[in-house]
Amino acid sequence: MQDDDALLEYLDQGQLSNERIRQMIQHRQLFPCCFGSALKLQGIDALLASLAQWTQPREFPSEFAARVFKISHDERGERLTWVRVMGGSLQAKTAILPDQKANQLRVYNGSKFTIVNQVASGATCAIAGPMTTYPGQGLGNLKDDTQTLMQPVLSYAVDPKENDVHQCLKAMQTLADEDPLLHVVWNEQLQEIRVQIMGTVQLEIMQQLLLERFDIDVDFIKGGILYRETITAPIEGVGHFEPLRHYAEAHLLLEPAKRGTGMRYASQCSVDVLNKNWQHQIITSLEQASPKGVLIGAPLTDVKVTLVGGRAHVKHTEGGDFRQAASRALRQGLMTLKARQQCQLLEPWYRFRLIVPSTQVGRALNDLQRMHGEVDPLGDQTTNSVLLTGLAPVAQMSDYATVLRGYTHGQGQLECLPAGYRPCHNADEIIQQADYLPTADLTNTPDSVFCAHGAGYPVKWDQVPQTMHCDYYCDFMHV
């Protein structure tokens, strides 16, 4: 059923050759299963024999390529980048990134390691030296792994107790460097550490690691849900930055993108309007900015941002000018959409799998309806239990496991998996609670700066279209 040649061989000979099976395993058409327990040393010999019988050597390209699969730190705190070499060979002291070298190559056996000068294709090693690598990164001729990682949905504040808050921050940043599912955010204004995670189990693990590795005992204070923002209609945003002896104007087209695609950036601007250098600086500055929405200041997502036009000055324009203009253009577009009620607040949802006793189905359905959940048609049923599946907001489901254990006396089972972001079920309430004022967020201002009589003066975002130097580039803005 997986391979026509294999089917013909089976019909002709009544069985498959070992070579055919090995080929199908290599092409991920067959998946052999071995059973055992490493802790009890059961099945180990059978596993090794299966590997010897059913795998075949892989041919690696001659050009250097490697994949980063882990980041760790040794007992002295030195950062290690773990890689598997997927092509060519890795030499010590060579540059694996434009500005970073493989200072030392370590081949580990348990906690002990041997320093080597070269690692061949197919082997793994730990590299000492690089400081900006990350899991999934491709080195050499290998591209980054684009497989999407689960995104954190819960936020907690850190109570450092008697510990120095900056020492806690440094330790937690070390853990975040090693775990791509852990995000650590420092709030300079509140002098507070916040962690963004997937669930409470991750908190317990982090708390234990901080105590064992850094001798730091902390508590966590539940914060809230990690919301995001998007848009529901296109708009051309305009940003102008012209204090004395500076000049830049940028026009950005903001368009809704497919759910779950994140932020995307492109340019459709002619080089006759802005040269390639300015265009590159604008796109790069936007990619590095992590733009915020204007409803509650949450991260913006699922928006395609396209540079469509602008203007530079031969004498007065500098690189930083377009960074300012582009940021203001994006925020000005968002403010215009907000005024038209075309901005949307998103919240994370779970896909749940809920098993309850048949006598408690009514209670479970009522709870799911109250939590704004969407229940699929009834699944597997027995005389004693019923399976319910569907979608529900994380904000509503995060504490439901405790409630479930209570009314089912421990007989209920709940499994939740992240299901991406969907429109927030109580957006008005969340926006009111946040009380976010975009025009007061000076680091993300939607206003522009113009110049007259030798001095710069601010122009409010809604007055920029009457003051901008370039006409709109998108036809729908002229309607």
- For 333-357, the pLDDT digits (tens) are 999 999 999 999 999 999 999 999 9
| In the predicted structure, residue 365 carries a pLDDT above the cut 70 | yes
pLDDT at residue 197, rounded to an integer: 85
| In the predicted structure, residue 233 carries a pLDDT above the cut 90 | yes
pLDDT at residue 305, rounded to an integer: 97
Residue 133 has, within 13 A of its CA and on its CB side, a CA count of 33
- At 396-406, the pLDDT tens digits run 887 788 899 89
Burial class (CB in 10 A: 0-12, 13-18, 19+), 54: middle
The overall average pLDDT reported for the chain is 91
| In the predicted structure, residue 155 carries a pLDDT above the cut 90 | no
CA distance 63 to 141: 7
Quote the distance between the C-alpha of residue 435 and its chain's center. 26
- At 323-333, the pLDDT tens digits run 999 999 999 99
Q: Where are the alpha helices (DSSP H) in 163-226?
A: 165-178, 200-214
> Of 224, 204, 200, 220, nearest to 212 (Cα)?
204
| In the predicted structure, residue 291 carries a pLDDT above the cut 70 | yes
Q: Which pair of structure tokens corresponds to residue 306? A: 């396209």
pLDDT at residue 149, rounded to an integer: 62
Mean pLDDT for the stretch of residues 161-169: 91
| In the predicted structure, residue 410 carries a pLDDT above the cut 70 | yes
Instruction: Please check whether residue 232 is in contact with residue 336, taking contact to mean a CB–CB distance below 8 angstroms.
Output: no
| In the predicted structure, residue 369 carries a pLDDT above the cut 60 | yes
DSSP 68-134: EEEEEE-TT--EEEEEEEEESEEETT-EEETTEE--EEEEEETTEEEEESEEETT-EEEEES-SS--
pLDDT at residue 479, rounded to an integer: 64
Quick one: DSSP state of residue 382? -
Lowest mean pLDDT among 14-18, 114-118, 316-320: 316-320
Residues β-bridged to residue 343: 231
* C-alpha torsion angle, residues 359, 364, 369, 370 (rounded to 10): 120
Mean pLDDT for the stretch of residues 63-86: 93
Percent of the chain with pLDDT over 90: 70
Residue 80 has, within 13 A of its CA and on its CB side, a CA count of 18
pLDDT at residue 147, rounded to an integer: 61
pLDDT at residue 448, rounded to an integer: 96
Residues 6+ apart with CB under 8 A from 141: 61, 63, 64, 65, 87
pLDDT at residue 278, rounded to an integer: 94
**pLDDT tier at 150 (50, 70, 90 boundaries)?**
low
pLDDT at residue 148, rounded to an integer: 53
